[in-house]
Structure 1
């Protein structure tokens, strides 16, 4: 599985919490500014404001935080409502220094981070133009003729109000979009990996369905032939008919047991007839073909394997075959031990290989992810068993399959 990317950057609090926090911060900033005597258009020990203008501005600044509840869903609408409150507070206090609140700065940041470039640039530009115009009008009303120095002073106060939050919003928005893109790419890779695994499982099930046909075909054909014979002699030879019916019953029960072992296998194509399914009886031939790359290949068998069901014997053979294939690919020359233990309740197959002792043959393909382990695990699970694989302490590899022999468990 690919590594999960870092979570997309997000602001730590939900919108309601931000609304409350910004409302408290804006009112606190306003009252603190009045307390220290800051004023833009007046000079002297304190601002020229009345008690009515103070509390009116406090009410407007408190209401200014309400639109932040929609900051995420409707950032543009939220910004213009905040900006309208800012203009109202400025008209009440006649002092812009008192009304440039944290809420206004955060609203500029939000609209930049969450909208397209054209949208936030237009919104911030129009707001900055209105703000500048209002301040110039107030300057004329309370200061007389505007000098170039006064105009420059207005611009130096208005421009940073929008420029700094816009830059911060651009940085946050780019990081958020980058994280969302990485998350989307990771999700696409995960879905592709799941699709590949599902395709491998489906392919393996189809292969097992074809092998089921080969294993069970002789039972079904025998039942059919004996049924035809019983029909022909049912009147002339009742004794032979009884023997045939008993044989048919036995074949049917054995076929049913084998079918229960592989119940649920999905079939998507037509079977390929005429190819006998291998079993553990074919194991010596398989081992002989592998000894050229693994001279130290040992086989240890405990218990009787002759009466295993065809499906169980086939699964054990395929697991050993795949394990030996992996050993040939990844550990050429390494010692390999195949251990098969049969007890009354289960059959245990263990394949251990040491680390490679021979170099890879010239022109050998590079190792890449395959689906052999998926197929082995599917075979074991189909029979009610389990498969464990992993590195061995000596640097090699170990594969262990445990398949129950209890028909009820397998069914």
Structure 2
């Protein structure tokens, strides 16, 4: 079968995307269904019942006389074989639509003209229309329309010649051709039009599928780029934060070695500085490695700190918590690792109050001075009790918070208060600068 030219459209095609040809559309699921033996069996049964219904009914009831030159059993059997051959021809519509059409048309004309029973053969028009559906799906619109017109014209001409050869008057021949030709034309052009429409929809579906695959590939590339960027951010954080602390450790160790012989007390003091500096380096590594573990599982956002305290408070106020806040000092002054740890402590305290003391009034205090940060969350008695309070948490929050505070040499105080509620307080010292000590 000769290949047809590629049919191009301008609607919704991505740059660089090729248009599907009619040949590629012809492999669609609807037309491919015609190749199924089940489809052929359904077409055959539907056609043969209609073709043979009238003669079988007439023979069974004894109405009228049999005027055919061949016996009824022979004519009915040949008509049924013609229906079977026509159904088999239609199964080729997916791969050879034109040959399927010519075969279906030939079977119809053989039953109608060779057997001389055009009225019986009228139901075979529909099978011809099914074959034209395959042509409409596989060929360009002008070609498919030409085949539909040629089918109707050829069948009408053959019917007219047969009627004239049978000795029918001219008026009867014209009326016969108009009747049979109109019936065939109505279903034929409907079939080819449906095939054309289906082909258009199939091409749009294929374009949409290719666009979806392209977008999926772009999304995968964007996700991978985002992961690489996040890994780069973590590497930069390790370089800028943890690397700085580690470099400070090396400097402090060098200085303590130099001072130890003549100034042992100062050397011991520097060793204390090494200890403090090591805690901050460990805390920085802890946060960066935690981010690294989460790169492949969730999108990353900047680690919140006290600069987002108002957002945290508004979050709980929007959910009905009565929160009063008092801050002293500059919340932007503490080092990042101190600020994020304090933020986590306040967040943990508010979450615990929401779980265990619903409706209780809450006070949040944050104090920043030159050497330390102090934060506290306290609440009064709960206004309503929960029967399932013991099931609200796993008990890991305070333990994790203690671990984070230990890394920055901080302390945690969690205990009942005199208002029937709970108090959670943290104190985190700032890292000491060694330059001033050396001077």
Q: What TM-score comes out, normalization by structure 2 length?
A: 0.51
User: Does structure 1 retain, via aligned residues, the 8 Å contact 2:83–2:107?
Assistant: yes
Find the counterpart in structure 2 of residue 159 from structure 1.
Answer: 182
**How many angstroms does 1:28 deviate by?**
1.9
User: Does structure 2 retain, via aligned residues, the 8 Å contact 1:57–1:89?
Assistant: yes
Find the counterpart in structure 2 of residue 271 from structure 1.
Answer: none
Number of aligned residues: 306
Aligned alpha-carbon RMSD (Å): 5.7
SS state at 2:351 partner: strand
Bigger relative contact order, structure 1 or 2 (CA pairs below 8 A, ≥6 apart): 1
Supply the distance in 1 between the matched residues of 2:213 and 2:342 (Cα, whole angstroms).
33
Find the counterpart in structure 1 of residue 416 from structure 2.
Answer: none
User: Does structure 2 retain, via aligned residues, the 8 Å contact 1:108–1:165?
Assistant: yes
1:254 aligns with 2:264: no
Supply the distance in 2 between the matched residues of 1:178 and 1:216 (Cα, whole angstroms).
56
**How many angstroms does 1:65 deviate by?**
0.6
**Measured at CA, do residues 91 and 339 of structure 1 come closer, stay the same or move farther in structure 2, by a change above 3 Å?**
farther
**Measured at CA, do residues 24 and 278 of structure 1 come closer, stay the same or move farther in structure 2, by a change above 3 Å?**
closer
Find the counterpart in structure 2 of residue 383 from structure 1.
Answer: none
**How many angstroms does 1:20 deviate by?**
0.7
Supply the distance in 1 between the matched residues of 2:100 and 2:50 (Cα, whole angstroms).
21
Alignment of 1:270-289 (within 5 A): 279-283=304-308
**How many angstroms does 1:235 deviate by?**
7.7
SS state at 2:292 partner: coil
Aligned partner of 2:52 among 24, 31, 35: 31
User: Does structure 2 retain, via aligned residues, the 8 Å contact 1:78–1:107?
Assistant: yes
Aligned partner of 1:48 among 65, 68, 72: 68
Whichever of the two has the greater Rg, that structure is: 2
Supply the distance in 2 between the matched residues of 1:150 and 1:298 (Cα, whole angstroms).
97
User: Does structure 2 retain, via aligned residues, the 8 Å contact 1:258–1:310?
Assistant: no
Supply the distance in 1 between the matched residues of 2:239 and 2:153 (Cα, whole angstroms).
85
Find the counterpart in structure 1 of residue 80 from structure 2.
Answer: 58
Alignment of 1:38-187 (within 5 A): 45-51=65-71, 52-100=74-122, 101=124, 102-112=126-136, 115-143=139-167, 147-167=170-190, 169-170=192-193, 173-174=196-197, 177=200, 181=204
User: Does structure 1 retain, via aligned residues, the 8 Å contact 2:306–2:339?
Assistant: no
Alignment of 1:364-379 (within 5 A): none
Alignment of 1:226-237 (within 5 A): 226-231=249-254, 234=257, 237=260
1:341 aligns with 2:358: no
**Measured at CA, do residues 313 and 94 of structure 1 come closer, stay the same or move farther in structure 2, by a change above 3 Å?**
farther
Q: What TM-score comes out, normalization by structure 1 length?
A: 0.53
Mark the runs of 5 or more structure 1 residues left unpaired by the alignment: 1-7, 39-43, 268-276, 321-337, 349-401
Q: Deviations over 1:35-62 (max 9, x none)?
A: 3569xxxxx7445151334323322221
